[in-house]
């Protein structure tokens, strides 16, 4: 146990098993972005997967809408220590995008409009663990929260769920993305509290 802070009693004692260590609950939806919110017209939007063979698999907004959608209810955990439980999203599983992609590489880098990047092992994007989502709580996703579409990888800290996502490139090593170069953990498992370097 750490040193006692005189006079501090705190508030919640009820153990919430859905809350990873060091997190607190918020009902709010805080916005964390490193720069301005980009203005992205869905008519200009596309999402691509680029492999080591230089092959691009690309979907525009209409193509995205034509893919099978899933409704996802999940908890999200931000490295700045807030968690939000039972959030609802709609989008397309990364399994669907990767269905016809041939690659032998095991790591990916997600790229966003505005220049943001984040690295994610391929296995963390597959098997029903990640989506491209365009709807939050029944409404089109707000630009501040990554609209028109963002990555959702809820089993990792939320900086991995890249806002304004526009593509994924295949890598043969786990190269650090934007926050991973600026102090955050390479992998980011909230249950193991992998916050920082």
Partner 1 sequence: MSGWKVGTVTTTSTQTASARAISLEVPGWPGNLAGQHVDVRLTAPDGYTAVRSYSIASAGPGETVELAVDRLPDGEVSPYLVDDLQDGDQVELRGPLGGWFVWRPEQAEHVQLIGGGSGIVPLMAMMRSHAASGSTAPFRLLYSVRTPDDVIYRDEIAALDDSSLDTMLVYTRMAPVGWPVPPGRLSKAILAESVFPASEAPLIFVCGPTGFVEAVATWLVELGHEPSRIKTERFGGK
User: 40: which 2 tokens?
Assistant: 């992205």
Stretch that binds partner 1, among 50-58, 92-100, 125-133, 177-185 (CB under 8 A): 177-185
Query: Is 176 one of the binding residues for partner 1 (CB under 8 A)?
Result: no
Q: Establish if 194 lies at the interface with partner 1 (CB under 8 A).
A: no
| DSSP per-residue codes, 105-123 | --EEEEEETTS-EEEEEGG
Q: What CA–CA distances, in Å, run from 111 to 28, 39, 50, 70, 157?
A: 27, 16, 11, 23, 17
d(Cα 124, Cα 114) in Å, to the nearest integer?
A: 24
What span, in angstroms and rounded, lies between the C-alpha atoms of 148 and 135?
8
Residue closer to partner 1, measured from CB, 105 or 192: 192
Pairwise CA distance, residues 148 & 75, whole Å? 21
Q: How far is the CB of 25 from partner 1 (least distance, A)?
A: 10
Alpha-carbon span 91 to 100, nearest angstrom: 19
The single residue among 1, 17, 41, 86 that binds partner 1, judged by CB under 8 A, is: 1
Q: How far is the CB of 75 from partner 1 (least distance, A)?
A: 16
Largest CA distance in the chain: 62
Q: Does 43 bind partner 1 (CB under 8 A)?
A: no
Task: Considering the complex, state which of residue 98 and residue 150 has its C-beta at the smaller distance from partner 1.
Answer: 150
Give CA–CA dist 39/52, Å, rounded. Answer: 30
Tell me which residues in 73-132 interact with partner 1 (CB under 8 A): 80-81, 114-115
Shortest approach of partner 1 to residue 187 CB, angstroms? 17
138 binds partner 1 (CB under 8 A): no
Antiparallel, parallel or unpaired: β 24-25 and 82-93: parallel
Residue 73 is encoded by which pair of tokens? Answer: 């209810």
- Among positions 11-40, residues that touch partner 1 (CB under 8 A) are 11-13, 22, 24, 26, 28-39
Count of residues of this chain found to bind partner 1 when the rule CB under 8 A is applied: 42
- Which residues make up the interface to partner 1 (CB under 8 A)? 1-13, 22, 24, 26, 28-39, 80-81, 114-115, 142, 144-145, 178-179, 181-183, 196-197
């Amino acid at each position: 146990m750490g040193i006692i802070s005189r006079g501090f009693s705190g508030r919640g004692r009820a153990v919430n098993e859905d809350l990873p260590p060091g997190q607190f609950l918020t009902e709010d939806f805080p916005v964390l972005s490193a720069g301005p919110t980009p203005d992205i017209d869905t008519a200009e939007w596309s999402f691509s997967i680029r492999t080591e063979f230089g092959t691009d698999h690309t979907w525009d907004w209409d193509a995205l809408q034509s893919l099978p959608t899933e409704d996802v209810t999940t908890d999200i955990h931000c490295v700045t220590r807030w968690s939000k439980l039972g959030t609802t999203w709609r989008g397309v599983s990364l399994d669907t995008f990767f269905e016809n992609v041939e690659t032998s590489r095991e790591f990916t880098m997600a790229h966003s409009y505005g220049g943001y990047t984040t690295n994610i092992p391929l296995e963390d994007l597959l098997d029903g663990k990640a989506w491209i989502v365009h709807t939050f709580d029944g409404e089109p996703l707000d630009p501040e929260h990554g609209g028109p579409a963002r990555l959702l990888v809820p089993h990792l800290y939320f900086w991995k769920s890249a806002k304004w996502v526009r593509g994924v490139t295949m890598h043969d090593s786990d190269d650090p993305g934007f926050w991973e170069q600026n102090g955050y953990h390479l992998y980011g498992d909230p249950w193991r509290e992998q916050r920082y370097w």
